[in-house]
Amino acid sequence: MNATPIFKKVALIGFGLIGGSIARAARAQGLAGEIVTTAHSAKTRARVAELGIVDRVAETNAEAVRDADLVILCIPVGACGPVAREIAPHLKAGAIVSDVGSVKGAVVRDMAPHLPASAHFVPAHPVAGTEHSGPDSGFAELFINRWCILTPPQGTDPSAVDRLRAFWTRLGARVEIMTPDHHDMVLAITSHLPHLIAYTIVGTADELGQVTSSEVINFSAGGFRDFTRIAASDPTMWRDVFLANKDAVLEMLGTFNEDLSKLTRAIRRGDGEALFEHFTRTRAIRRGIVDIGQDSAAPDFGRPLANLTKEPE
Ligand code: NAP
């Protein structure tokens, strides 16, 4: 454990997958003198108190942020504006205010107008996650070797950016800085569109009349299963992501539809060469991701293999 705290008091608004993982990792690394958290419902707040990971569970967002040096909103993107308005009068002068939202342009637009000039606003997005949500889903290792993108508005105090960078680095992340618009374009293709495609395919399979639902489930290892993992992601979070990153997602969807038409044409015309060339190119992208350590090359995504049993004698 690294025992030098970067912040005296850290307030986490929201304690789900991301808030819970930050709390666990910050505690393990000794990054905060005190960690205070809160959540929307009394049920989650009670569960967080029971887990005993943080120093204190506050009843309200306003109470949580009081005297905090770092405040991180770990809540759905659509809730960031109203919560910024709610906490603004209670922020300590010089506090760093951040978030973890998967969309940055809309979050900056919704939060910035409410925050006092005495606070430093440094939006962030840890590009790490699972399909699970809620207070029990977090784990301290979530951010290790994953990217965290910071999108500080022009003119942000560089020392506030450096302190947040140091915090995320000690949670295990690699930190990159970019503009909110660029972030939203990159994430539209690397995260938002794949989720939309997974939600579509799983929905389509569900509606297929000629294939029974037991067949869809039994034969899912043919590829469908990997889409179902993504399509099991939190509905509130993803509704907000698509509403908030509408323009970039629609632009990427336009390009995607053109490419899908090209592959459709190749299949219709029996153009094996075009299909082979395309699949060879995409295979190289997968190899590149494994080579830089952003995924494992373990067969079948590292799922445990069952042993073959001997033929009965
Ligand atoms: P989650 O597991 O569903 O947790 C969300 C938390 O926010 C819950 O504790 C919820 O409280 C709380 N909350 C909601 N509205 C609130 C409000 N108005 N005031 C206070 N607390 C409120 O969600 P998550 O997966 O951690 O996602 C949180 C954020 O991280 C989202 O913006 C998402 O875009 C971003 N993100 C997610 C991932 C991912 O893979 N999941 C990855 C990177 C970034 P209750 O439990 O009481 O409702």
- pLDDT tens sequence across 62-105: 999 999 999 999 999 999 999 999 999 999 999 999 999 999 99
For residue 211, what pLDDT is reported? 76
Residues 59-71: tens digit of each pLDDT = 999 999 999 999 9
Q: Which has the closest alpha carbon to 27: 119, 131, 138?
A: 138
Domain shared by 44 and 89, yes or no: yes
Q: What percent of the chain is predicted at pLDDT more than 70?
A: 96
Q: Is 208 within the bounds of a domain?
A: yes
Domain shared by 40 and 174, yes or no: yes
Residue 306 has pLDDT above 80, yes or no: no
Which CATH number fits the domain that encloses residue 253? Answer: 1.10.3660.10
Q: Average pLDDT for residues 196-221, to the nearest whole number? A: 85
Cβ atoms within 10 Å, residue 63: 15
Strand arrangement, sheet containing 120-121: 56-57, 32-38, 7-13, 70-73, 96-99, 120-121
Residue 231 has pLDDT above 80, yes or no: yes
Residue 1 has pLDDT above 60, yes or no: no
Q: Is the CB of 37 under 6 A from ligand 1?
A: no
Domain shared by 71 and 161, yes or no: yes
Q: Is 311 within the bounds of a domain?
A: no
Q: Is the CB of 15 under 6 A from ligand 1?
A: yes
Q: Is the CB of 133 under 6 A from ligand 1?
A: yes
CA distance 218 to 216: 6
Mean pLDDT (the chain, rounded): 93
Expressed as residue numbers, the domain containing 231 is 182-296
Q: Is 151 within the bounds of a domain?
A: yes
Q: In 3-state terms, what secondary structure has residue 270?
A: coil
Categorize the per-residue pLDDT at 2 as very low, low, confident or very high, splitting at 50, 70 and 90. Answer: low
If you measure from the C-alpha of residue 40 to the centroid of ligand 1, how many angstroms do you get, rounded to a whole number?
Answer: 9
Choose the residue to mutate in 65, 86, 237, 245 for probing ligand 1, maximizing ligand atoms within 8 Å of C-beta: 237
Give whole-number Cα distances, 294 to 126, 143, 174, in Å: 14, 12, 12
As for how many domains the chain has, the answer is 2
Alpha helices for the chain (secondary structure H): 17-29, 42-51, 61-65, 80-87, 105-111, 158-170, 180-187, 193-207, 213-218, 224-231, 235-244, 246-269, 272-291
Q: Which amino acid is at 144?
A: I
CA distance 97 to 150: 12
Strands 174-177 and 147-150: parallel
If you measure from the C-alpha of residue 11 to the centroid of ligand 1, how many angstroms do you get, rounded to a whole number?
Answer: 14
Domain shared by 144 and 197, yes or no: no
Q: Average pLDDT for residues 133-156, to the nearest whole number? A: 96
For residue 271, what pLDDT is reported? 97
For residue 255, what pLDDT is reported? 96
For residue 59, what pLDDT is reported? 98
Domain shared by 63 and 140, yes or no: yes
Q: Is 144 within the bounds of a domain?
A: yes
Residues 26-48: tens digit of each pLDDT = 999 999 999 999 999 999 999 99
Residue ending a domain, choose from 135, 158, 179: 179
